[in-house]
Amino acid sequence: MKFEEIKSQAEEFLRIHGPTLQNYAHLVSWTSNNYVTDLWEKYVYLSSREPLLINFSVGFADGWKVKKRSLARRAANHVNLLTAAAIAFYKEDVDPPGEGFCFTDRHNKVFTHSRIPQKDIDSYIDHGLTSHIVVQFNGCFYRVEVFDPQTRKLYQPAQLQAILDEIMNRDDVPSDVEKNLAALTADRRDKWAENREVFFLKNKVNLKFLNDIETALFFLILDPEDFGDVANDKDVTSHYIKVMTHGKGNDRWTDKPLNYHVTGCGRIGGTFEHGVCDGVEYRTFCEYVLYHESKYVIDNTDQLSESQRKTLKYAEKMEIEEIPGMKKETLRCYEEQVKRNADFDLASIMFQEFGKGEIKKCECSPDAFLQMAYQLAYYRLHSHFPLTYEASGSLFYNNGRTETIRTVSEESCEFINDVINGSPIHLRRKSLLKACREHVLRSKNALVGKGIDRHLFVLYAMSKYKNVKSEFLDTYIGQKWTLSTSQVPNLAQICDEDAHHDMCFMAGSFGAVDKDGYGITYRFMGNHSIALHVSSYHSSPQTDSKKMREAILDALREMASYFSMEQRHQEEVKSK
């Protein structure tokens, strides 16, 4: 659609429907602690009938260069730390991230809520802070108490390890239904709601099974696979992050906000259900856990005495009763999720040539610098400017979630044109600095409530409530975010990532919003390196994650060269 046509629609909207819808939005703001969030959660997350994995859930990873540990030991460490974190946030007994303030409601929901599928629009149950988790190992499910039933104290890592080791030493063999049971939750939401009612709600045994999972603190996956050299091999890194994002087809209970995946070499990762929280919450937990594990958890396993072992409450294997049609449905859901997983194209790298420390020497915002690299890389591959979304937090506002930073600007286009047209290096450098300054301004505006996209979304929702037809709002809501990007900063500011590479959180990934576009997650690991994850879909003939990743790396190197001492010396020689 041409600019003039959109401009005409906008002018008509301002004259006719805009003022009325604005008044309705104003009225809504009087009845809610955040006039955007309620509508955003309802219509963006809970109303969609698409499967959660890849489309909505977010994958997360481990520290970059963590020490190898046994599966059970690392899992025990993290169960202990996550449960302690859940208690701390529940009691609001935690230092706010970044020495500021902390709205803890969504942190709590990670452990106290579970999503309930329904025919038209999902909901959440608040089960409170419970005392158990559910563990999946070798296709079987186990209820594990994380508090000593006699003292009511949280089990220490050595005690939890003994419980998990005991699970892994059992000879339990899952039935055909049991091994693919979790795949039911990865189905379309309306179909999962139907199967949940038929297979669980109407059967006493299966209802108990479902209740144990839905009221658990989180869902823990014990996976014997050793992923190899995740820290240094980009192909291995890509495979690891990919599996953390969507699982293996039958190892995610997607209704749980937190699916925690522990691998054979002790690496952790998993998925977050996006409806209850944003990147702020998951990266806060990841940083707290990595920091406290490095600082306080002792690597050597404490030996438990026989008397201590006798007081442990070992895992209870959860029973499932097969119902006619159940085996067929679990297999169908598993096979369909495996196909979706195969279509998900992810290319990751831990880029070590330079980090934000060197970028700052260029007098550029590191975030803006990378955003311009994405623009340059995309243009070189596709020869046009993409509608680009960068997520920004709305943490200055009660119950705030996110706002959109629109990366593409006149300044960013000028920079790209200077590069493509082969302008002199000093002009490219000048236009890059100008584009970065504009991006910083847009980022600041989004942080303080001066973004436009969430408010336009509310106006669109108001138009549907009032049955108002607006071509402008229809055009707005129908736009495709070809580049969806999200930076994962060091929010808690407790990890010294320059001194401790094991604390360098590797970020994670998400599915591209546009089926013909890219999803890019990135994170500055200290001042030295950059974690980069590029997603797309094999089914699209227009995208290729590896090509995009390499184009981004080439753009970063080229842009950094504009500021090198050698380059400036050559310019001085030419000017003389």
Query: In angstroms, rounded to a whole number, what is the distance separating the alpha carbons of residues 345 and 362?
Result: 33
- Quick one: tokens of 494? 């407790």
Q: Which residue has the tokens 């200290």?
A: 526
Q: Are 279 and 287 in contact (CB under 8 A)?
A: no
Q: By C-alpha distance, which of 434, 413, 368 is closest to 426? A: 434
How far is Cα 209 from Cα 213, in angstroms, rounded to an integer? 7
- Burial class from Cβ neighbours inside 10 Å (0-12, 13-18, 19+) for residue 300 reads exposed
Cβ distance 509 to 71 under 8 Å?
no
3-state secondary structure 297-310: CCCCCCCCCHHHHH
Write down the catalytic residue from 274, 439, 528, 533.
Answer: 274
367-387 exposure pattern, b = at least 16 Cβ within 10 A, e = fewer:
bbbbbbbbbbbbbbbbeebbe
The conformation of residue 42, written as its DSSP 8-state character, comes to I
Q: Which two tokens stand for residue 103?
A: 């709205």
Q: At what angle do helices 279-296 and 71-90 cross, to 10 degrees?
A: 120
In whole angstroms, give the CA distance from residue 186 to residue 121: 16
- Note whether 219 and 108 are within 8 A (CB): no
| Of 255, 188, 251, nearest in space to 216 by CA | 255
> How are the residues of the chain apportioned to helix, strand and coil, as percentages rounded to the nearest 5?
50, 15, 35
At residue 45's C-alpha, the angle toward residues 41 and 46, to 5°, is 85
DSSP string, 408-438: --HHHHHHHHHHHTT--HHHHHHHHHHHHHH
Residues 260 and 220: beta-carbon distance below 8 Å: yes
Q: Regarding beta strands 483-487 and 518-525, do their DSSP bridges make them parallel or antiparallel, or are they unpaired?
A: parallel
DSSP state of 319: P
Beta-carbon count within 10 A of 102 CB:
18
Reply yes or no on whether 292 is catalytic.
Answer: no
Q: Which residues neighbour 86 within 8 Å (Cβ) at sequence distance 6 or greater? A: 108, 110, 111, 129, 217
Gap between the Cα atoms of 241 and 497, Å rounded? 20
Backbone angles phi, psi at 371, to 5 degrees: -60, -40
Contact 81, 523 (CB under 8 A): no
- Write the burial class of residue 467 (CB in 10 Å: 0-12 exposed, 13-18 middle, 19+ buried): exposed
Strand, helix or coil for residue 336: helix
Alpha carbon distances (Å) from 282 to 355, 374, 563: 23, 25, 35
Residues known to be catalytic: 274
